Chain A
């Protein structure tokens, strides 16, 4: 895993890139502030081909970052380059970039097909009709393509936005929370599409605030917390690092004292304290093994477990751990 916020870096040394990997997107020393409020602070990273997850809690600065990568926002400091060129003030680069923003609104008076076709025409796609039909099929919107976008569900709007972003076959695809509002079938289909695009060598950046969701499609992740880059690199490495921290587990059971004495006998339990009549708070450095150990002890000792829950599994605490470490 690379160290974030490294300065004086070459393209291949940027956080987020494997050794020798070519950066398709380069973000160098980027900051964005609005008066006294700092939205993004001194961020440097590179993104290569494949799917990269931009992970962070709501309000972390993911959308601001995506807007700077897409040239809609000018950084207050630093530079952003896509395919080696600056994006802002360079409309020609948009032939290579597609963005499906988080914004709810689309042109409600247009039909889904018309909306995608409009994007194809504006992109200068030679066969706008053919390209439109192709991407509508790709996102599975054939049956609703003649309906007005204004009447679409949130999931349908997400898919039609992805179709519009894909219609000119861009090299770089930026998707801001594309899975929001989608049902499980639509989600699976969009994830499959992202993976496929990544396998084809496209650079796909997908922002999400759902940790478990990202591992389904992203090879690489950039973790953004409070406008700072908390971690960058291979998802599994980061995930392992997150799992290795101390976890606090709350247990409610029929006999907390007996369960506690058995739990502390195992070295993965670092400490145990009681909470009320039935409650127990355990601290462990291996949450996965602990999840197997506690029920096993309970079964053996004939203790009934009413509740077993990791209290610090929220995204905020995971992200805060990454920042602090």
Chain B
């Protein structure tokens, strides 16, 4: 632990802030929210196939709504809270590059969200597997875990940038999640093309179908967006004025 503090002080500090406050608990709680739906399905399974139900749960609930909210909380808090409460100068007034600060914060977001999301989809899969005759859930779990991780990487970078651009990043993020991802992204083809939901689902379907070309294409696009977001975040942080 001591070595980690020396190696990744910004990340360790941020993880400690998340675990010391409510953020980490909320992230875990929200990540496990689909377990409730899985439990209802187990108690009263509809005519649907368990595997199909699990995949639909991921497509309709986790990706458009839960995943963005789970990532939004720590991503907007990582730098946004420091800006709001005035602790950011403790990091900025150090001989540490702005890139190291942004990447340290980004790593902390990933460390808090991805394990929680994997635990969430894992528990959901375990609960759905209790339905008699449930088969073929393992590949769905792998695809869900992989896609959720990629989605978290994308949204983490996006919301981290947003927190440096707008004062009420959490509110702005919520509007984005519910208006763009959950509503418009579903029905408007133009919006679909530029929504994180669409690319996360492409990764999911690619992993599920074993279509490595589609998976790589989606991940490449996501990678470029992540890179752009992080570069912009570093640029923004280095020009930020702290009063």
Stretch from A3-11, A88-96, A281-289 at the B interface: A88-96
A2 to B140, CA, bound (A): 77
Q: A71-B93, A94-B93, A121-B9 are in contact. Are A89 and B87 (CB under 8 A)?
A: no
Chain B positions 219-243 with a Cβ under 8 Å from a chain A Cβ = 238, 241-243
CA distance A70 to B16 in the complex (A): 27
Interchain CB contact (< 8 A) of A94 among B13, B17, B95, B242: B95
A141 CB-CB contact with B under 8 Å: no
In the complex, what distance in Å separates the CA atom of A72 from the CA atom of B243? 7
- Give the B interface residue count (CB, 8 A): 27
Q: How large is the interface on A (under 10, 10 to 19, 20 to 34, 35 or more residues)?
A: 20 to 34
Kindly supply a per-residue 1/0 record for chain B positions 10-35, scoring 1 wherever the CB is within 8 Å of any chain A CB and 0 otherwise.
10010011011100000000000000
CB proximity of A31 to chain B, nearest CB, Å: 14
Q: Find residues 94-108 in chain A having any chain B CB closer than 8 Å to their own CB.
A: 94-95, 97, 99, 101, 103-108
Given A105-B87, A106-B87, A118-B9: A67 in contact with B17 (beta carbons within 8 A): no
Q: Most chain-B Cβ atoms within 10 A of its Cβ — which of A92, A93, A103, A128?
A: A103
Whether B241 pairs with A74 at a CB distance below 8 angstroms is: yes
- A110 on the interface (CB 8 Å rule)? yes
What separation, in Å, do the CA atoms of A316 and B241 have in the docked complex?
A: 29
Chain B nearest Cβ from A243, distance in angstroms: 35
Assess whether A122 is in contact with B20, with CB atoms less than 8 Å apart.
no
A105 and B85 within 8 A (CB): yes
Q: Across the interface, do B94 and A94 meet the contact criterion of CB distance under 8 Å?
A: yes
Q: Can you give 21 contacting A-B residue pairs, CB < 8 Å?
A: A67-B242, A70-B89, A72-B89, A72-B92, A72-B242, A73-B241, A73-B243, A89-B238, A97-B93, A99-B93, A101-B86, A103-B86, A103-B89, A107-B87, A108-B20, A109-B16, A109-B17, A118-B5, A118-B90, A121-B5, A124-B95
